[in-house]
Structure 1
Amino acid sequence: MFTTYQSKLFERTMLVSGVDKFVFSRPDDAQWNFQAGQYMIFHIPQGTEHAARRQYSIASTPSEKRYLEFIIGYIPKGIASTYLPLMKIGDLLTMQGPAGVFIHRPSPRPAIYLATGTGIAPMFSMISDKLADQSFTQNIYLYWGLRYYNDIYYLDYLINLKNKYPQRFEFCICLSRETDIEAKVKKEHIPFCTCGHVNTGVEMMLQKIQKTHKEFDYYLCGSMIVVESLRVYCADKGVVKEQVAFEKFTF
């Protein structure tokens, strides 16, 4: 149900430098809901001009009825990146939604999620939603690309998911600018991190379990350049386009 409403800011928390978590109110309509992976449209005020519209994926799950959670990365001099950090708890922001078709597709195949940066936001919602669904039995593999170990957030959340669903969920954080995991990463986090890009993690996993790329569905989210490169990667490995869903973040 596409709705326009005034959303109240409940919480803003810095996750890492340049990335904040925002928690906003949901619409008052008890019938309103969204599908995991969808986004909301923020109306960012610009003085007397028409509001700028920016799309942000929902990171919380549809089962969370108290609020909507967003993971937002800031862009230098960006309209939303300038306005949102100045909001105070209790301030109102016009939102529209939900929108988007980046949702989990019914399939007998296990799924590989490939995210970079804040492209992880819809995947937190999608993965948590599916793992909690008792009718969903396929395995889920998440590979999240970041530059440095200090860029990681929500690691405890992912570890808890892994511990709760040990047979169905695997994840690896791929650090493209790190060269020595043991020197930079806390000992207890080493099993969940590797050097390189997300495709590095996929190749290691497939070799370990002796599967081919074509035996999985793929969900891709990140910047336009990254998503396009991952689509090429999937195609080069023989994965048909019907097995690939994606969401491109524009800035």
Structure 2
Amino acid sequence: MNLVSQLQHHYEWTPNYRLVYKKPVPQGLKTFQVPQTTGIPGWIVFTYEGKVPVCLWISATEHKRLPCIVDERICGDTFIKVEKIGTLDFVVSDIWMYNSNCVFACSTFKQRYEWLSKLLSRFTTYIEGITIDLIHKSDLGDVPIRGYEEHSEETIGKPGYFVEKDDSQKFTITRLATPDCYEIIGKGYLRVPDIKTSIYLRSKGESFECRCIKHDDEFWDVVENIPEVEVNASTSC
């Protein structure tokens, strides 16, 4: 049994184990928000192989050892959830296990977030281009993001909620004389790719507000919830 299989068997854990789920945030829930990058989700695990401390990168598709500079005192099976944004660059998302103790189960996300900042600065370091760089989200900088994670400020041991980034904008739309032509003044025109969009826009009147997202240099797409249209086919003899 290889090392990764041993970890899976011992902790009843898999590389696909999730600490955040894509679902609506409950109304009224007080949350702590952090960005989620477009990086590859996975895990950095500090453990031992035989009597030698090792650093593993484990994702759904691969696992391999990585060069690192880390205090050996945290290598007693520490599982850190990360987002891989470069060959040796990893954004730290959360921590599940610390030296075989499931800290996830007995703390809030905000507590772990603040504690991780201290842990990383105290127990890890890196040499650019040589060893892995573990980046706390408070030091993220200008990195592309996929959306935001919302974590309960009070509940312990519970997964967070993922909310996709909304790149849409609200504009005032003007209907033109030509059928299915709509202008966003100074920005371009709306695309009307199908019958349901056509019917929806016609129902809005001569001038209205609408959420849109850029399609190309000239055109924009409507991103509102457009109802489906029933088309009744008829035949005549």
Q: TM-score, normalised by structure 1?
A: 0.23
Bigger radius of gyration, 1 or 2? 2
Q: TM-score, normalised by structure 2?
A: 0.24
Higher helix share: 1
